[in-house]
Amino acid sequence: MNLDGQTCVVTGSSRGIGRGIAKDLAAHGGDVVVNYRSSEDEARAVVEEIEDDGGTAMAAQADISEQDDVESMVAAVHDTFGSVDVLVNNAGVTIDKKFENMTRDDWETVIDVNLGGVFNCTNAFYEDIEQSETGRLINISSVVGQQGNYGQANYATTKSGLFGFTRTLALELADTGSTANCIAPGFVATDMLEEVPERVQEKILREIPLNRFATVEDISGIVRFVASEESSYMTGQVLGVNGGMEW
């Protein structure tokens, strides 16, 4: 699964799953764009780690919910690496509350990033992906988009919305040979999960047949496969990487 010569943009990749994806793609030859909104130090640390391992990367600031920011990022990426082959829409936010306590601002903030940001980035890099011989659009969803989750009506809505978006883009890109696929991770052992109370973690584990949380590497390896030539005949799919959870 060699990615030599491919430019890969990973949104929200200064930490967590995005960081792991960026490092994995770079380790297999990709020129990687580490996008961040406000975590500049963390993003530059990821770039340094990639370069220390012999890879190539750049940090690119953009609040993906802001179209002007995204357009500035595109210009910087094109100046440094040229056109983009792989876009991984990973960035997302949560504002968790029971629906009866959720405000319109809570709803719109999550929608603006998790769906609006996907639109902005995909729209900005669409022509690159369409024209690339190895064009790949990869949307990171969640098992929450498949199952729903208590207190996450806004988040679950955005993550299930990516399924229809991915399928539609797969159909529209098909005659170019470029693909669009969606990865729906289960619960991943990141700092975000560490903030979940232990009793809740134990409850989640009881619902996972493999009886463990995913590692970041479990997810990044699947992303690498989808980004590679080996996945060229797969498009419009939702890949559940969730340890066997039902949905």
Report whether 10 contacts 57 (CB < 8 A): no
Q: Which residues are catalytic?
A: 155
Render pLDDT for 122-132 as a digit per residue (tens, 0 to 9): 999 999 999 99
pTM exceeding the 0.75 threshold for the entire prediction = yes
Render pLDDT for 214-244 as a digit per residue (tens, 0 to 9): 999 999 999 999 999 999 999 999 999 999 9
Structural domain contains residue 83: yes
Domain that holds residue 164: 7-187+216-241
Structural domain contains residue 14: yes
Residue 115 CA, distance from chain mean position: 12
Report whether 25 contacts 224 (CB < 8 A): yes
54: confidence class by pLDDT, cuts 50, 70, 90: very high
Q: What is the pLDDT of residue 195?
A: 76
Report whether 149 contacts 200 (CB < 8 A): no
Structural domain contains residue 206: no
Structural domain contains residue 199: no
Two tokens, residue 63? 């609040």
Render pLDDT for 67-111 as a digit per residue (tens, 0 to 9): 999 999 999 999 999 999 999 999 999 999 999 999 999 999 999
Query: What average pLDDT does range 15-27 have in this prediction?
Result: 97
Q: What is the pLDDT of residue 191?
A: 76
Structural domain contains residue 178: yes
Render pLDDT for 107-165 as a digit per residue (tens, 0 to 9): 999 999 999 999 999 999 999 999 999 999 999 999 999 999 999 999 999 999 999 99
The DSSP result for 200-241, as a single string, is HHHHHHTT-TT-SPBPHHHHHHHHHHHHSGGGTT--S-EEEE
190: confidence class by pLDDT, cuts 50, 70, 90: confident
Structural domain contains residue 201: no
Structurally, how many domains does the chain consist of?
1
> What are residue 137's DSSP bridge partners?
87, 180
Tell me the CATH number at 169: 3.40.50.720
Average pLDDT, the chain: 96
Structural domain contains residue 228: yes
Structural domain contains residue 1: no
Q: What is the pLDDT of residue 163?
A: 98
> What are residue 240's DSSP bridge partners?
184
